[in-house]
């Protein structure tokens, strides 16, 4: 069976290279049919469940995972129900429903939405977890397969972390190819569950998500993603919402590509030349994408965040 995701470019960014004084490569996952990397792993999981004859996919999501499940369900002709928290944008809900999926809004956080989704499962349903599933990680690991095929071998991979699915997949891909390349895991200030967990040496639960980067909105990272820090070099960086949004707008000017703040967080580390990049010269940034933001929304966020930061 053909994969539902597409092969994306590994693209040398002259703009980001100039801005950082380094060689910067982009893996343009924003070009996936669903708008984000999520389709790689979620598409694979949906296909495997479809082979077993399931009659419905049920998932929980803050946006991009739900869009990916809806896309996969439409392509496989299997009905989809996605439970999203109240923080999910109207645009994300519309993109999910436009692909003929049912959208249920429930709870103030992804955790609450996830509990509701699990309670809805029937005998012929398959639950599609947005990030905590070995099949999903295997699908995401194909990002590294393509980078290797393209002949690019960075000395650092930069990516954004929410629940940890992308991190888990990228590390799996690196280890499969026996590449001992460090990863810089990036979050925003109000959604830094992974960085805080690594700093404390135990998985913490954030009391709430206080960031506009709602795609990073898991209050606790997966156990697997947290455990990876023990056997792979993973450093953490945290940027502000304003830095993430500014990076999205600057990236739009430089590359003609719209991404959401969850993705802009990783891009911001390059534009801001954060200290965690000091030892690296050849960097790969996973442009994880995000179909849920518009230019108008980015400008609105920027105005609001700038006003709030003014003395």
Encode the chain in three state secondary structure.
CCCCCCCCCEEECHHHHHHHCCEEEEEEHHHCCCCECHHHHHHHHHHHHHHCCCCEEEEECCCHHHHHHHHHHHHHCCCEEEEECCCCCHHHHHHHHHCCCEEEECCCCHHHHHHHHHHCCCCCEEEECCCCCHHHHHHHCHHHHHHHHCCCCCCEEEEECCCCHHHHHHHHHHHHCCCCCCEEEEEEHHHCHHHHHHHHCCCCCCCCCCCCCHHHCCCCCCHHHHHHCCCCCEEEEEECHHHHHHHHHHHHHHHCCCCCHHHHHHHHHHHCCCHHHCCCCEEEEEECECCCCCHHHHHHHHHHHHHHHCC
User: For the chain, what are the domain ranges?
Assistant: 10-37+135-309, 38-133
Judging by DSSP bridges, how do beta strands 10-12 and 23-28 pair with one another?
antiparallel
269's CB contacts (< 8 A; 6+ apart) are 158, 184, 186, 237, 239, 276, 277
Q: Which of 195, 182, 309 is nearest to 242 (CA)?
A: 309
Q: Does domain 38-133 have CATH number 3.40.50.1820?
A: no
pLDDT category at 203 given cuts 50, 70, 90 is very high
pLDDT in the model for residue 36: 96
Q: Output the CA torsion 286→288→294→295 (10° steps).
A: 0
Q: How far apart are CA 93 and CA 196, in angstroms?
A: 30
pLDDT of residue 205: 93
List, in sequence order, every residue forming a beta bridge with 289; answer none if it has no partner.
36
Place of tokens 């954004």: 160
Check for a shared fold between 10-37+135-309 and 38-133: yes
How far apart (Å, rounded) are the C-alpha atoms in residues 224 and 240? 26
End-to-end CA distance of the chain: 57
Residue 141: closest CA among 186, 174, 178: 174
Chain mean pLDDT for the chain: 94
What is the pTM for the complete model shown? 0.95
Alpha carbons 193 and 211: distance in angstroms, whole number: 12
pLDDT at 311: 55
Tell me how far apart the 2 most distant CA atoms of the chain are, in Å: 59
Q: What is the pLDDT of residue 31?
A: 96
> pLDDT per residue over 25-77, tens digit each?
999 999 999 999 999 999 999 999 999 999 999 999 988 999 999 999 999 99
CATH 3.40.50.1100 assigned to 10-37+135-309: yes
Model pLDDT, residue 310: 60
Percent of the chain past pLDDT 70, that is, above it, reads 99
Contact 70, 96 (CB under 8 A): yes
Taking the C-alpha atoms of residue 268 and residue 179, their distance in angstroms, rounded to an integer, is 25
The alpha carbon of 159 is separated from its chain's Cα centroid by a whole number of angstroms, namely 8
pLDDT tier at 108, thresholds 50, 70, 90: confident
């Amino acid at each position: 069976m053909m994969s539902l995701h597409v092969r994306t470019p590994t693209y040398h960014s002259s703009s980001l290279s100039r801005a950082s004084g380094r060689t910067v490569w982009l893996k343009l996952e924003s070009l996936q049919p669903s708008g984000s990397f999520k389709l790689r792993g979620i598409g694979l999981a949906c296909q495997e469940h479809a082979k077993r004859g399931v009659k419905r996919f049920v998932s929980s999501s803050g946006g991009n995972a739900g869009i990916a499940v809806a896309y996969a369900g439409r392509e496989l002709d299997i009905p989809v129900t996605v439970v999203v928290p109240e923080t999910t944008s109207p645009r994300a809900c519309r993109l999910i429903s436009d692909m003929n999926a049912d959208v249920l809004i429930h709870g103030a956080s992804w955790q609450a939405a996830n509990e509701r989704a699990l309670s809805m499962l029937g005998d012929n349903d398959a639950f599609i977890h947005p990030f905590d599933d070995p099949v999903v990680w295997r699908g995401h690991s194909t990002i590294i397969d393509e980078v290797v095929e393209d002949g690019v071998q960075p000395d650092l991979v930069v990516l954004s972390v929410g629940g940890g699915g992308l991190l888990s997949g990228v590390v799996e891909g690196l280890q499969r190819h026996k590449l001992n390349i460090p990863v810089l895991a990036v979050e925003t200030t109000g959604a830094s569950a992974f960085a805080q967990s690594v700093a404390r040496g135990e998985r913490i639960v954030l009391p709430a998500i206080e960031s506009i980067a709602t795609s990073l909105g898991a209050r606790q990272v997966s156990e697997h993603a947290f455990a990876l820090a023990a056997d792979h070099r993973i450093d953490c960086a945290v940027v502000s919402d304003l830095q993430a949004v500014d990076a999205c707008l600057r990236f739009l000017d430089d590359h003609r590509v719209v991404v959401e703040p969850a993705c802009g967080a990783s891009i911001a580390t390059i534009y801001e030349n954060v200290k965690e990049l000091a030892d690296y010269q050849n960097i790969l940034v996973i442009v994880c994408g995000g179909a849920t933001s518009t230019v108008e929304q980015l400008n609105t966020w920027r105005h609001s965040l700038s006003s709030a930061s003014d003395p």
